Structures are given as C-alpha cells and as structure tokens.
C-alpha cells in the first residue's frame, strides 16, 4: 500500500527548484538519484496492465527504478538478499557490533567518500579479525557481515559500520569450534584502540600519497602539519565501538538484517507532513532516555533534500560486505567445516517439485491469477481501457 507521503513527493515538488538553485554543485550521481526516485513507479518508466483470469479485475503496474537509494525499491531487494543469506546462519548466538568514526574524521570522509568509507570497512573488519584471532581473547577465525550506514536518525552525516558476528569461530588449527561467552564476544576498549591506530595510520598514508581532497573550511588540511593538528584531539579520544547483547536465535538475526541491510537515510513511513513550512518527520534523539527518544523535526524542503543527498554512495560502492569465514571466495567451505565441528546437519535443499509454483500474482479481489494483457514503454500510457477478460466458465461475448 502506498504511504500517504513519500520522499518522491518532496522531490517532485521541490526538486526542480533545488536543482536550479544548486546547479553546478550537485554530482551526476546525486542528479541520477533524484531523477530515479521522482520517476519510480510512474509512466515515465513504463509498465504493464494486469487482469484477473477469473473475475476480470484489472490494474496498471508501473516499473520500479530499482535505485538503491529509493525508499520504495528496498523491500524487494532486502527479501531477495535475505533468502540467499538464510542458509548461512549457524545455530549459535550472534552479536551486533558497531564501529563509528569521530566527527573530525567524518567531515574529511564526506569529501572523500569512496576512499574513507572503504578504509572504514577495511580497518573495522581487520580489527575484529585480529582481536578475535588473538589467543588472549577468542583465538579463532570468525565470520562477519558488515553494513555501512552514513546517517544519523535526523539524516546528518554520521558514517558507521554495523556488523553481525557469530558468537564463536573455527580454531586457528581448524580442528574445533570455539564458542564465545554467552553475553561477551570481544573487549570493546581493545577493539577501539586498535581501530583508532589502524585508521589514523592509513589515513595519513592516503594523505602522504596525495589521494585526499579538501575543500572549503577543510582546505588548510592539505598541509600535513595542519592535518596532524586537526587529528591531535582524535588521537587522545576513545573511539566508539559498541557491542550489543546476542540475538535470541537465528530468526532474530534475520529480522534484524531485514531492517538494516537495505535501509536508507529515511523511509517513507517516517514522513508526517509536507507543506509551505517544510517537511516534518519522526526521528530518534539518542541523547534522551528511551521513553522520550521519539521526536519530531521540521526542515525546509531545501534542507531536507540536502540532507537526503548527503548519503548518496559513490557509483559501484558495495555497502554490504563479508569477511573471515563469510568471505565470498571461501564461504561455502568454511560453513561446511563449521557445521561439522558443531555436529549439525547441512541445510536441506528443496527437491524440485513436479509442478513448479505459479509465478503469476494473486488477484486482490478474488484470489485468482493476474496475467499481463498489455505492456507500454517509458513515457507512454496504456492505449486505453484494457480489453475485458472473460471470467473462466462464461461464454465469450
């Protein structure tokens, strides 16, 4: 069911003026995202007409943009991704670990997204794998599913990595499964210290190689001494690594993943109003106690669009990555070995049924099957009211 207010409504109404005002300051990727969301599920992308073979009910279905920043297109993508990941789950506790960049680093990352988001992935995963393999801690090879989020609840720029990690791993000699403690995976202070050292060392290496870009107020940081002064407080600050208690079983892991893997900066369900006063939406203020966290904010349409576009990812950038036991090249072998060590049977593979399931959607009126009776191309509409479908069992007129 369509939400009463969508991000697409805001972009269609205020997007043209925003593009005109900021001409020359929007990237091609941002322009493409705006266009895709504005045209998603409209005649601009084409579509088809479906009719029920039983009752004759018909409807028009427009094509989706499938852009990964579109609020309407992430549900199907998440379901497809989750179906592929379900077979990877092990019957162990799973932990949720979050690595967050300090604000001083986040502002550098904003103008160097591809480089520093990639560096965030690499240093966070290496930190987890290194500390987990240390015999003083877990002493095992672990698996990681990592998801990048670049926003806070109010759509401000706040890059951080969410990780889902099994509560244990394969011993370094490969001969046994080592389980973590029930409510403890790895020490967060040790993780934070190594994460800080690795990230700052590699950030300076990128700077020395001339790969970082600095603009506006950050332009002086092109000088190495200025950058060192900027990073001085960060070196003394504790970097936040947060580990939540384990999930209550694999089903809870899947429920979590379905909410996080394909999430975008703001969903349509959080929008409340849009008018001359601006866009009003719900957000969580994590500085408040739990009962008072749900708050309401109103932004001008320009500011709402600006914040939304802050989170456009570079073209081709992978925001979901797997490491350790779950790395794509070795996932199958590692999961088979883990199941052997845990003495559990491999997931059952469904035998092909004699009669394949009917791929046609069900009719919303009678439960019959909808068939495509007409297709139309981009920027066109159906030719007219579709030819009537004669319900089965009735004589043809």
Looking at residue 386, its pLDDT comes to 53
CA 46 remoteness from chain centre: 27
| Least confidently predicted of 8-17, 228-237, 246-255, 316-325 | 246-255
Q: Please check whether residue 42 is in contact with residue 379, taking contact to mean a CB–CB distance below 8 angstroms.
A: no
Distance CA 95, CA 247 (A): 6
Whether residue 3 is predicted with pLDDT greater than 90 in this model: the reply is: no
pLDDT top residue among 123 and 164: 123
Per-state percent for the chain, helix, strand, coil, to nearest 5: 40, 20, 40
> Is it the case that residue 271 has pLDDT exceeding 80?
yes
Helices 188-208 and 113-133, packing angle to 10 deg = 140
| pTM, full prediction | 0.86
Q: What is the mean pLDDT of residues 113-138?
A: 96
Q: Measured between alpha carbons, how far is 169 from 165 in angstroms, rounded to an integer?
A: 9
Rounded to 10 deg, the angle between the 103-110 and 224-236 helix axes is: 140
- Give 115's pLDDT tier (boundaries 50, 70, 90): very high
Q: What percent of the chain has pLDDT over 70?
A: 89
* Averaged pLDDT for residues 110-119: 96
Q: What average pLDDT does this structure show over 112-131? A: 97
Token pair of 337, please? Answer: 């070995």
Region label for 106, one of left (φ > 0), alpha (ψ between -120 and 50) or beta (otherwise) = alpha
Q: Which two tokens stand for residue 54?
A: 């039983």
Model confidence over 239-254: pLDDT tens digits? 989 988 777 766 677 7
Distance CA 278, CA 250 (A): 42
pLDDT for 1:
44
- Average pLDDT, whole number, for the chain? 87
Query: Higher pLDDT residue, 58 or 110?
Result: 110
Q: What does the pLDDT look like over 280-305, one tens digit per residue?
A: 999 988 878 777 888 999 999 999 99
Is 362's pLDDT higher than 90?
no
Give the pLDDT of residue 141: 96
Q: Would you say 303 and 274 are in contact if contact means Cβ atoms under 8 Å apart?
A: no
- Phi and psi torsions of 220, nearest 5°: -60, -20
Q: pLDDT (tens digit, 9 = 90+) per residue, 22-49?
A: 999 999 999 999 999 999 988 888 888 8
What are the φ/ψ torsions at residue 4 (nearest 5 degrees)? -65, -30
Q: Are 325 and 141 in contact (CB under 8 A)?
A: yes
Percent of the chain whose predicted confidence (pLDDT) is above 90: 58
Q: How far is CA 247 from CA 165, 191, 372, in A?
A: 10, 21, 43
CB 170 within 8 A of CB 140: yes
Q: What is the pLDDT of residue 250?
A: 67
Summarize the confidence of residues 309-336 as an average pLDDT: 92
What is the rounded CA–CA span in Å between residue 318 and residue 98? 18
Q: What is the pLDDT of residue 292?
A: 80
Query: pLDDT digits over 128-146, tens only?
Result: 999 999 999 999 999 999 9
HSE-CB for 274 with a 13 A CA cutoff: 19
Q: Look up tokens 């456009």; give the residue.
A: 312
What is the predicted pLDDT for the residue at 382? Answer: 67
Stretch 203-230: mean pLDDT, rounded?
A: 95
Q: Which residues, 6+ apart, have CB-to-CB distance to 234 below 8 Å?
A: 102, 104, 105, 196, 200
Q: How do residues 59-91 score in pLDDT, each as one tens digit?
A: 888 888 989 999 888 777 777 777 777 778 888
Q: Which residue did the predictor score with more confidence, 119 or 4?
A: 119
The pLDDT value recorded for residue 394 is 46
Confidence of residue 346 (pLDDT cuts 50, 70, 90): low
pLDDT at 391: 52
**108 compared with 88, residue with greater pLDDT:** 108
Q: What is the pLDDT of residue 368?
A: 85
Higher pLDDT among residues 127 and 62, named by residue: 127
**How confident is the model at residue 2, as a pLDDT?**
54
Res 172: pLDDT: 93
Q: How does pLDDT run across 224-241, given as a tens digit for each residue?
A: 999 999 999 999 899 989
Tokens matching residue 278: 């601006």
- Distance from C-alpha of 306 to C-alpha of 295, rounded to nearest angstrom: 20
Q: What angle do CA 181, 185, 191 make, to 5 degrees?
A: 150
DSSP letter, residue 352: P
Residue 57: band (very low, low, confident or very high) from pLDDT cuts 50, 70, 90: confident
Judge whether residue 259 has pLDDT over 90. Answer: no
């Amino acid at each position: 069911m369509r939400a009463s207010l969508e991000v697409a409504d805001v972009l269609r109404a205020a997007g043209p003026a925003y593009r005109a005002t900021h001409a020359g300051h929007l990237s091609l990727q941002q322009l493409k995202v705006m266009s895709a969301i504005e045209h998603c599920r409209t005649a601009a992308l084409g579509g088809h007409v479906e009719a029920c073979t039983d009752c004759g009910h018909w409807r028009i279905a427009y094509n989706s943009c499938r852009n990964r920043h579109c609020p309407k297109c992430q549900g199907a993508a998440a379901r497809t991704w989750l179906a592929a990941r379900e077979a990877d789950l092990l019957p162990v506790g799973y932990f949720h670990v979050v690595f967050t960049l300090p604000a001083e680093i986040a502002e550098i990352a904003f103008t160097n997204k591809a480089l520093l988001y990639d560096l965030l992935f690499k240093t966070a995963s290496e930190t987890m794998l290194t500390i987990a393999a240390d015999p003083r801690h877990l002493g095992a090879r672990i698996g990681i599913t990592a998801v990048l989020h670049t926003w806070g609840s109010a759509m401000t720029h706040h890059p951080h990595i969410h990780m889902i990690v099994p509560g244990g791993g394969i011993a370094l000699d490969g001969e046994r499964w080592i389980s973590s403690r029930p409510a403890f995976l790895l020490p967060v202070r040790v993780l934070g210290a190594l994460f800080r050292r690795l990230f700052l060392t590699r950030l300076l290496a990128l700077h020395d190689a001339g790969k970082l870009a600095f603009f506006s107020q950050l332009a002086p940081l092109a000088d190495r001494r200025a950058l060192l002064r900027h990073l001085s407080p960060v070196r003394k600050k504790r970097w936040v690594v947060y580990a939540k208690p384990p999930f209550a079983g694999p089903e809870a892991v899947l429920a979590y993943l379905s909410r996080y893997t394909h999430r975008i900066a703001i969903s349509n369900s959080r929008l409340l109003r849009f008018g001359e006063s601006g866009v009003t939406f719900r957000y969580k203020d994590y500085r408040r106690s739990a009962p008072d966290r749900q708050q309401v904010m109103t932004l001008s349409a320009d500011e709402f669009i600006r914040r939304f576009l802050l989170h456009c990812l570079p073209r081709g950038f992978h925001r979901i990555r797997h490491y350790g036991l779950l790395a794509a090249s070795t996932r199958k072998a590692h999961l088979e070995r883990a199941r052997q060590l845990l003495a559990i049977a491999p997931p059952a593979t469904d035998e092909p049924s004699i009669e394949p399931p009917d791929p046609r959607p069900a009719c919303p009126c009678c439960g019959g099957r909808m068939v495509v009776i007409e297709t139309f191309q981009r920027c066109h509409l159906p030719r007219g009211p579709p030819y009537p479908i004669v319900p089965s069992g009735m004589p043809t007129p």
